[in-house]
Amino acid sequence: MTTLPEPGTAKTEAGDERLGDHVLGQLRRLGAIVGLSETDTALYGQVLLASLAGAAQRPLSLPPASPSFLSDDHTPVEFSLACRADQAPSLRVLLEPGWVHGTMEDSARAGLEAIRAIADRWNFPTGQLDALEDLFFPTAAQGPLALWYALDLRPGRAPGVKVYVNPSAAGPEHAARTVKEALRRLGYASAFAKLPPGAGYPFLALDLGAWKAPRTKVYVKHPRMSAADACALSPTFGAAAADIRYFFQMAAGSPIRPSRGADRTPRLLRRPALTCHSFTEGDAEPSGFTLHIPVRDYVRDDEEALARARALLIRFGMDPTVLSRSLRALTQRQLADGVGLIAYLALVHERDRTPRITAYLSSEAYGVRPPQEQFPRIDLAPAQRGPALTHKAADHLSPHTGQKEDTWSRTASKS
């Protein structure tokens, strides 16, 4: 394996670098930022490499092994940073174990083997997933994915494991029926009726392993969403309409107005928004609601995406500097030179918990999307950035902007 750079600085030269080298370097640097020890990251790295199997040794000089739906450049790995006001940020890694396989059937088989190996390592059952195998892994399964899994990385202990499966595996026309039957088998017979209308169900997810309250989550696609639509889709628990509207408008920027017709409401006309609806054992109603905005389709470049994400983090009382450092750990390219490093921004509301902001971060092992020149460069006005802050400039420069980075404190953010 190649020598890894110091934590916090992305590797610059590719050479004959392999996919495994690339993502392990990113994992190590990100882990150091969120407080994972070298022992933690080494263990999680072993799991990641084992799941990628032979694909980990594939040189990046070759094109992607398959057109993975997981990322725009087809890297089968994505990181995410989950932030709350009342606790330290947590790091997650999402991957497609069967990425190198050419058929959905083979990809599903590789994915199930990876999950069962992880279950053996950390001694947790897979009964819920096993009960759904005939629904989500038919012989002639359709794409765009068979199985993904994510690890919620936790210092010094077993990770939380999330498994994502495709409700359209037997065909998109059967997706609703598949979701309804899966929820019934998992003990949520009335849950399907609680889901909002939408244009499809891209994922169903299961929490496996070390979770205090494991959830089943259903994702719903919402083309042409407006800020008002987003507010209307949220349950009442803990999700203030003003917060949802602010999040939508900041993450989406200035959504496009339809060119024709009487309705001139700004809407997401490119990649659609997603909502996620969580169900927890013993609850008749949803226990959580998440709004996912594909920020990469509604900004000029990643410099603007970062500015919008920072404004959101500040608004919700969270430290924005961790996200800035995380982007530097992923790449040394200038943020203004591409778009998609921040793929999605999500606002998460869960019963009896403070809101969470999650930024989904692309690995960019194979390519960088160019800036979207049709979007004008926007400098967020102070009123859009959230509450007035008292920042103290740090003594180092950001490699992305050439400007001094700000330090942050929760006390300052509330001034």
pLDDT at position 255 is: 73
Comparing C-alpha atoms, which of 207, 202, 161, 160 is closest to residue 178?
Answer: 202
- For residue 81 the two structure tokens come to 């940073």
Distance between CA atoms of residues 8 and 399, nearest Å: 11
Bridge partners, 208 (sequence order): 161
Contacts of 167 (CB under 8 A, 6+ apart): 136, 175, 176, 178, 179, 182, 201, 202, 203, 204
Tell me which of 9-23, 133-147, 174-188, 269-283 is least confident: 9-23
pTM of the model: 0.88
Higher pLDDT, 119 or 388: 119
Q: Are 339 and 299 in contact (CB under 8 A)?
A: yes
Work out the pLDDT band at 16, boundaries 50, 70, 90.
confident
SS3 391: coil
Report whether pLDDT(209) > 60: yes
Band of the pLDDT at 6, cuts 50, 70, 90? very low
**With 80 as the cut, is the pLDDT of residue 334 above it?**
yes
What is the three-class DSSP state of 240? coil
Q: Which residues in 190-210 are b (16+ Cβ under 10 Å) and which e?
A: ebbeebeebebbbbbbbbbbb
| Predicted local distance difference test score (pLDDT) of residue 83 | 97
First vs last C-alpha separation in the chain: 48
What 8-state DSSP symbol labels residue 392? -
Give the per-residue pLDDT at 261.
66
HSE of 328, CA atoms in CB hemisphere, 13 A: 18
pLDDT tens-place string over residues 234-282: 876 667 889 999 999 999 987 777 766 667 789 999 999 999 999 998 7
- Residue 244 in 3-state DSSP? helix
For residue 413, pLDDT beyond 50: no
State the average pLDDT for the chain. Answer: 87
Judge contact between 205 and 149, C-beta under 8 A: no
Write the pLDDT tens digit of every residue in 242-251: 999 999 999 9
